[in-house]
C-alpha cells in the first residue's frame, strides 16, 4: 500500500527567502521550519498566511490544516516567524525542536527584539509572544523516537550546524530521511 506524499515550498525554494515548507504524508501536514527575514514585514508571510490565517479563509479554519511544526535550526531564516505565527496567525498545533534549537532560537528572537526596539518602534511581536510560543515547543534529544500525529520522529544531529536538527520521519508505509 502506497502513501500520499506531497512537498510544497511555502518560501525559500530557489531563492534567498526564509525557509518554510509544507510536507504532507497521507493526511498529516507538517510545517518544516517557519522562517522570516530581519525586516519582519508581515507582508513577507503572505504564502504562510494561506495555511494559517483564519481571517483569509474563515470558513475553512485554515490554521487547523497544520498538524505539526518541526523547527530544524535556531536562526531567523528557520524560525523567525514562529512566535508571530503562534501569536497572530492562529498557529496552535504542537511544535518540536531539539533542545539547542529551542534554547538558541528563543535567545535569537530575544536578541532581535531588543535590537529592533533600540532602533525603531517595533510592535510586530513582543517578548511575551516569544515566551508563549517557545513554551509550547516539545524538545527532543538526539535519536529520541516521538509519536507525531501517527508518524514517528527521531531527532538527529544537523548536517549543517551542531545546534540544528535533521528529522527522520517514518510510518507504516514510508520512511523519509
31 contacts: CB under 8 Å, gap ≥ 6: 10, 20, 21, 22, 51, 66, 68, 69, 70, 93
Confidence check: pLDDT of 63 > 60: no
To the nearest whole number, what is the mean pLDDT of the chain? 80
Confidence check: pLDDT of 163 > 60: no
- The answer to which of 49-58, 95-104, 110-119 has the lowest mean pLDDT is 49-58
Asked if residues 126 and 109 have their Cβ atoms less than 8 Å apart, the reply is no
Does domain 5-176 bear CATH number 2.60.40.10? no
- The answer to which of 97-101, 122-126, 134-138, 141-145 has the lowest mean pLDDT is 141-145
Confidence tier at 51 by pLDDT (50, 70, 90): low
Q: What grid cell was written down for 141?
A: 534529544
Q: What pLDDT is stored for residue 88 in this prediction?
A: 86
Which backbone phi and psi does 54 adopt, to 5 degrees? -65, -25
DSSP three-state, residue 136: coil
Amino acid at each position: 500500500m502506497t502513501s500520499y506524499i506531497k512537498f510544497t515550498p511555502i518560501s525559500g525554494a530557489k531563492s534567498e527567502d526564509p525557509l518554510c515548507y509544507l510536507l504532507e504524508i497521507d493526511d498529516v501536514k507538517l510545517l518544516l521550519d517557519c522562517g522570516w527575514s530581519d525586516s519582519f514585514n508581515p507582508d513577507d508571510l503572505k504564502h504562510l498566511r494561506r495555511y494559517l490565517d483564519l481571517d483569509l479563509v474563515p470558513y475553512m479554519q485554515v490554521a487547523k490544516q497544520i498538524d505539526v511544526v518541526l523547527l530544524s535550526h535556531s536562526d531567523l531564516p528557520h524560525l523567525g516567524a514562529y512566535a508571530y505565527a503562534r501569536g497572530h496567525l492562529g498557529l496552535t498545533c504542537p511544535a518540536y525542536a531539539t533542545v539547542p534549537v529551542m534554547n538558541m532560537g528563543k535567545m535569537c528572537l530575544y536578541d532581535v527584539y531588543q535590537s529592533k526596539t533600540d532602533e525603531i518602534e517595533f510592535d510586530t511581536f513582543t517578548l511575551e509572544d516569544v515566551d508563549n510560543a517557545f513554551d509550547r515547543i516539545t524538545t527532543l534529544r538526539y535519536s529520541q523516537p516521538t509519536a507525531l500525529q501517527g508518524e514517528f520522529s527521531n531527532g538527529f544531529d544537523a548536517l549543517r550546524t551542531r545546534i540544528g536538527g535533521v528529522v527522520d520521519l517514518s510510518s507504516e508505509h514510508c520512511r523519509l530521511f
